[in-house]
Structure 1
């Protein structure tokens, strides 16, 4: 255990908040210091709520609402960092989530349905209700971690002969074009068991076996062959089970077919990478990440955070007047088999928010058709811009991409946001027959044919969400602080944990959880397991400049090449200064140096989906000589960072 926290932290603490802000009629949410009961949702931006203390109705801005304080109702594990949760506790939480998963999307599951599910998973009805309420109140799987260890669920068993009777009745009676009811099957099972002198199973047990029949087999055997073929046979432009907004999102990366110029000299800096996410149901773009850095776990983290968070401030950042009403936690994320999507941090973060992570079958690109078609269509638009590289050498022919390159990354990003929000979202989609924005609105609010799912819940805290997807690691705290890749970090928040002992083994030092953004490693995020809060831990040497993890590793490679087998922060600082000077001197000569300088500049801006608008956002000039219908030259292009 750590010593008592009787010190005053030197920087502001961040308490992780993982509840979702669900703006549905009847829910309780907090606005300022008051709690309101939502009575009506007006649109994407506002709702009517009754103040529970005064009884007065007020119009509330949805972006200003936050979860009502339910202290005491949720698990303490909800406020822990993911890496602090024991494997056994996490396994138990996943097991409980699997038990309630079929009921999670039900607005108000009836007792009969809950009782049936409780019987299937072998727990009491009250227990299942408690798990369901706990998950819905918090929206994260960690809410299901047991407060006390040792619980084991019992399961009832039916004899093998009885199971055989049930299967016979299913094959002979249920799976036939006559389509008998479940009750008919129950009675027939009882009749055959009576004939054979067997104890008949309960109606619930029989119905649970019926529920496990794959829907495709059920429909085909019961005379719905054509319907089964249409519903379950994958066809171009259709994705099975993507029946509502955020049921499935697909994510993929590609290098953009354009040469951009740097901000200072407006000389070619290279091609950026984009990570893009699409909602399969509506074809709306849920989020993206644009960077000169190759795809990585950071790309995935930033794209996921951008997808889940509201985008009003993001539109303001880029000076684009448009609506982008897409946010919320997806049910399933569909990705390829790249290492960046298979990281343990990404997998566990998705599990925390109840997101099902699905991977495409190997060597089956058709399973990612929606996102790949969208990226392909976007590249066709990019091919109309100055500096495009087109998609192949023959297509480029004699076009000199570097000579014609005119757009900076900020200008291209504003063009991209405009393309997404004002053109793509509002243009008729050939696969849907209507614009994506219209399909999204139908999915949210419904129409005379389709019930809507309602406005998706928002994350209760933006920074917590982003931190959950950033890389995590463990370190012990020494008297001088913490060391990561040879760099020392210290803050008063670490003092109680200096040489702290492992609570399970007093002979070992305690490993504590830290997270960092690889684009700026001048500070770490430290999770205090006693206070259950995050603290920023800066470089112990405050004279060190902000740097990315890539710059640090370049500096180490330089020192190694110079024959220095060991190094310290002074040598690293000298190496980084020398590398930056070389880049600055070479900017006039080489594209690689300009790209590296631009990467550093963008990392230093420290923009993220959680904080898109800094207190003093830097500005970049607009290239007024470039004109395009998708770029409004009258709007100011403001500074931006390494994520969009």
Structure 2
């Protein structure tokens, strides 16, 4: 028996009698339904997008899917002409036109009014035009009949509607074997961290990660408090390409992480650190192509975006988690609950990647990323005759992706950030008598050493401080010194000022640490001191003798009062504290 509301299906011997337009529409239904059934992860938004494409409601689209499952042919989408006729409503044309006008004017706008508010506007318009007011249920049905994508675009934005309801045509980019294409992206972590010395809250770190598009394996990552930059990309790419045995040993991790090798394509967004010509050329030097996703379309980077969400989800429910998106109505303060340092978070993520993520079945590929990567290496060799590539000089690979400047060699050496550097190779370059500019690489984490590239030898040579009294510092520290110097009205022109500024900064830091520890100690001592209010001092039972602490430090006056024949002080206790008790935390009980 056919359910009520379902149009009867045309028989097979009548399919040649339908019009070309009806048959074409039935073919469109079948194409859309088959695409939906081929999708592994089905969502409500995708169903609404299919319904929008077919100009039907989501409920009708679901019925079409069930109809095709029961009878998988094109004829199942053909209806009799009687049932395909639109249903005639009970409302007049004036009521329908007024509701349509009210919805367009008072509901579909960026102020996003409620249905009740729009219905009140309809009430006013009906009274002004002397038209009977339709019921609110009829008005609600007219709103629900508007395409969801249209509602989203007019009440929010066209971009948001396209992101929510646009059909994603498979995965991009396609990969047929491991390391053919990887995706790199940045994100702030959903967790507050503390400093390792005083356990004070510092803030959230930034994560840069590289994901293999074929196996969904994590090839490498880099986490730091510094905002995403050229250094973040260089460190992440180096971690992804090189072997990780020493890296895991340093973090006391026994689980394997065999993924490594030079990728064929790096797929990124359009951030400035990726758009630099130097980064593109450095990649091309190692046979790596750089591919940028279309502007404003993050779905093209869905592989790495999905992995980032998965990683941040591991922080949710843990101490210091921001619980993205944060709940404004919650009393939970993640900064007060933060407990992990940057190195502890780094090790925690490494344990999760090597021990859990790589060995757990991935829903999109149907197997663990570790097994998929190993399987892909065999396919890569047997089908394409390729093996994973590795850089010949691992140390130079990192140098080739570090930030660079152009400098000339002078008698004093090489000057960078108003600091002079020297090295054995500089004498040779000066004796050549050829004045030219050289490429100098530097690590922003430690600018005490530079690396000058000699084209004739195709090799980097280290340069160190000319003034040996200069302490190691980062580019961040140097920038702070420069700003403070400019604020004080002087310029940094020699190393003496740099040393003085560094020493002054460190003295201020040590002083601040001492002050912080002193105030914390005072608060703890104050919390342990007895109150002056007698009611807060615990009374000792008359029938019990108080315990002595360190001989005569704590006793009652009950015996003394009894010798004197008095009872006025018999119910009071006198406490004598040893200062050592406050320091050692000895329990008075």
1:397-412 equivalences under 5 Å are 397-412=330-345
Contact 1:244 1:453 in 2 (8 A): no
The Cα of 1:308 is off from its aligned counterpart by 0.6
Q: What is the rounded CA distance, in whole Å, between the counterparts of 1:485 and 1:271 in structure 2?
A: 29
Q: What is the rounded CA distance, in whole Å, between the counterparts of 1:453 and 1:373 in structure 2?
A: 31
Q: Which has the larger radius of gyration?
A: 2
Deviations 1:226-273 (A, max 9, x none): xxxxxxx98476234311101110000011111111111122122111
Match of 2:450 among 524, 527, 531: 524
The Cα of 1:584 is off from its aligned counterpart by 3.8
The Cα of 1:501 is off from its aligned counterpart by 5.0
Q: Confirm or deny that 1:359 pairs with 2:279.
A: no
Q: What is the rounded CA distance, in whole Å, between the counterparts of 1:346 and 1:303 in structure 2?
A: 13
Contact 2:418 2:492 in 1 (8 A): no
Q: What is the rounded CA distance, in whole Å, between the counterparts of 2:258 and 2:227 in structure 1?
A: 29
Q: Which residue of 1 aligns with 2:562?
A: none
Distance 1:336 1:264, change over 3 A: same
1:384-423 equivalences under 5 Å are 384-394=317-327, 397-423=330-356
Q: Which residue of 2 aligns with 1:482?
A: 414
Distance 1:515 1:240, change over 3 A: closer
Query: Unmatched 5+ residue regions in structure 2?
Result: 1-165, 517-589
Distance 1:240 1:268, change over 3 A: closer
Distance 1:366 1:463, change over 3 A: same
Q: Which residue of 2 aligns with 1:467?
A: 399
Contact 1:237 1:431 in 2 (8 A): no
Q: What is the rounded CA distance, in whole Å, between the counterparts of 2:448 and 2:507 in structure 1?
A: 20
Contact 1:491 1:538 in 2 (8 A): yes
Q: Which residue of 1 aligns with 2:474?
A: 548
Deviations 1:570-625 (A, max 9, x none): 111211222233334445889xxxxxxxxxxxxxxxxxxxxxxxxxxxxxxxxxxx
Q: Which residue of 1 aligns with 2:568?
A: none
Q: Confirm or deny that 1:514 pairs with 2:402.
A: no
Distance 1:240 1:501, change over 3 A: same
What's the secondary structure of 1:410's corresponding residue?
A: helix
Match of 1:241 among 174, 196, 219: 174
Distance 1:470 1:395, change over 3 A: same
Contact 2:181 2:266 in 1 (8 A): yes
Q: What is the rounded CA distance, in whole Å, between the counterparts of 2:208 and 2:458 in structure 1?
A: 32
What's the secondary structure of 1:276's corresponding residue?
A: strand
Q: What is the rounded CA distance, in whole Å, between the counterparts of 1:580 and 1:358 in structure 2?
A: 44
Q: What is the rounded CA distance, in whole Å, between the counterparts of 2:417 and 2:343 in structure 1?
A: 32
Q: Which residue of 2 aligns with 1:272?
A: 205
Distance 1:340 1:588, change over 3 A: farther
The Cα of 1:458 is off from its aligned counterpart by 2.0
Contact 1:390 1:396 in 2 (8 A): no
Match of 1:570 among 485, 496, 513: 496
Higher RCO structure (Cα 8 Å, ≥6 apart): 1
Contact 1:425 1:435 in 2 (8 A): yes
1:312-327 equivalences under 5 Å are 312-327=245-260
Contact 2:172 2:301 in 1 (8 A): no
Distance 1:475 1:340, change over 3 A: same
The Cα of 1:512 is off from its aligned counterpart by 1.6
Q: Which residue of 1 aligns with 2:459?
A: 533
1:33-44 equivalences under 5 Å are none
1:13-24 equivalences under 5 Å are none
Distance 1:348 1:584, change over 3 A: farther
**TM-score, L = length of structure 1:** 0.52
Matched residues, number: 351
Contact 1:426 1:436 in 2 (8 A): yes
Contact 1:277 1:307 in 2 (8 A): yes
Deviations 1:26-82 (A, max 9, x none): xxxxxxxxxxxxxxxxxxxxxxxxxxxxxxxxxxxxxxxxxxxxxxxxxxxxxxxxx
What's the secondary structure of 1:394's corresponding residue?
A: coil
Contact 2:242 2:394 in 1 (8 A): yes
Q: What is the rounded CA distance, in whole Å, between the counterparts of 1:533 and 1:310 in structure 2?
A: 22
The Cα of 1:345 is off from its aligned counterpart by 2.3
Q: What is the rounded CA distance, in whole Å, between the counterparts of 1:447 and 1:243 in structure 2?
A: 8
Q: Which residue of 1 aligns with 2:303?
A: 370
CA RMSD, aligned part only?
Answer: 2.3
Q: What is the rounded CA distance, in whole Å, between the counterparts of 1:543 and 1:382 in structure 2?
A: 43
What's the secondary structure of 2:470's corresponding residue?
A: coil
Q: Which residue of 2 aligns with 1:344?
A: 277
Q: What is the rounded CA distance, in whole Å, between the counterparts of 2:473 and 2:216 in structure 1?
A: 37
The Cα of 1:444 is off from its aligned counterpart by 0.7
Deviations 1:190-215 (A, max 9, x none): xxxxxxxxxxxxxxxxxxxxxxxxxx
Q: Which residue of 1 aligns with 2:428?
A: 496
Q: What is the rounded CA distance, in whole Å, between the counterparts of 1:419 and 1:395 in structure 2?
A: 29
Q: What is the rounded CA distance, in whole Å, between the counterparts of 1:560 and 1:500 in structure 2?
A: 39
Q: Which residue of 2 aligns with 1:596?
A: none
**Larger mean Cα displacement after TM superposition, 331-340 or 522-531:** 522-531
